Structure 1
């Protein structure tokens, strides 16, 4: 009986450890942060590879405030392998104060992952987002094709975070229906 409880406790601990929502070491989420300015559509300009977006093009993310105070997250991308769109709808909450750009996001029930805005244009035109560790990085912009200065700024932040630019996947944003 005790062995079973210890095994279940160890399993629960392992599952929760995989749902880290704190910023990675060395990452200070943007502050002050204004959700009302961040809401709306962001286009994924580049990302590090991970299985849940592999192969997708025309990727975007939409953020809006829910009546309960949480944030509705809609991630959408075109999958050429199925010649169709894939969409995931999730919910996010601030990890602490609402003026600190550190959130926990869930697309799968009670399992949360970290979403931390590590850099943000003063006009909210581009942002750099990291997950629970530096293996998850997204370069986002309000425009499908941001100006060269914005791309330079995004890459400078990625370099400062010690993310290898040669591993970034540059996302095609040439579909008219996104």
Structure 2
């Protein structure tokens, strides 16, 4: 039965694909040129995000706090309120992949007896010169966040953050706003 199905599958015509000249690969996601980790650490409010399964419980008041560690890594504490008003908190660890720029990090929220088998890309792809907001993404554009030092952004700041995302191939329409306060 399996070989007959395989033979039938191989005999079917391949789906039509556009000619190679018609396929335009998206430009690579580009991290910012440099991040000052001393200015990066501290509290951030989530302004908007691409919905992700690991944030399904979060209804509002989502924040992130980054703290430098003596080993050069960064403690990450994400917190939000659920629909029922309960605090949901996750603690993770970030490591800098590119110490020249500090803009490419990886984050892990899973630890098995101190071993971290899963790391996710966390690239800073937009940042305000005064560190009032920043934009985080990943090379495959699956995840994205706009973070701010305050619970809201002025329209011009929000537009600048979205422009950072769009320059990196993200679609503005994929983002949902996070209610704060």
TM-score category of the 2 structures, normalised to the smaller one: 0.7 to 0.9
Aligned ranges 1:14-33 → 2 under 5 Å: 26-33=28-35
Q: 1:133 aligns with which of 127, 140, 159?
A: 140
SS at match of 2:153: coil
Shift of 1:96: 2.5
Q: Deviations over 1:114-170 (max 9, x none)?
A: 110001111111111003420100011111011111111112122222322222110
Gaps of 5+ in 1: 1-23
Task: Compute the TM-score of the two structures, normalised by the length of structure 2.
Answer: 0.77
Q: 134, 148, 165: which is aligned to 2:155?
A: 148
- RMSD between aligned alpha carbons? 1.7
Residues of 2 paired with 1:52 and 1:41: CA distance?
Answer: 20
Task: Tell me by how many angstroms 1:26 deviates.
Answer: 1.1
**Normalising by the residue count of structure 1, what TM-score does the alignment of the two structures yield?**
0.79
Aligned length: 150
Runs ≥4 residues deviating over 6 A: none
After superposition, residues 31-70 of structure 1 pair within 5 angstroms as 31-56=33-58, 57-70=60-73
Structure with bigger gyration radius: 2
Displacement of 1:39 after TM fit? 0.6
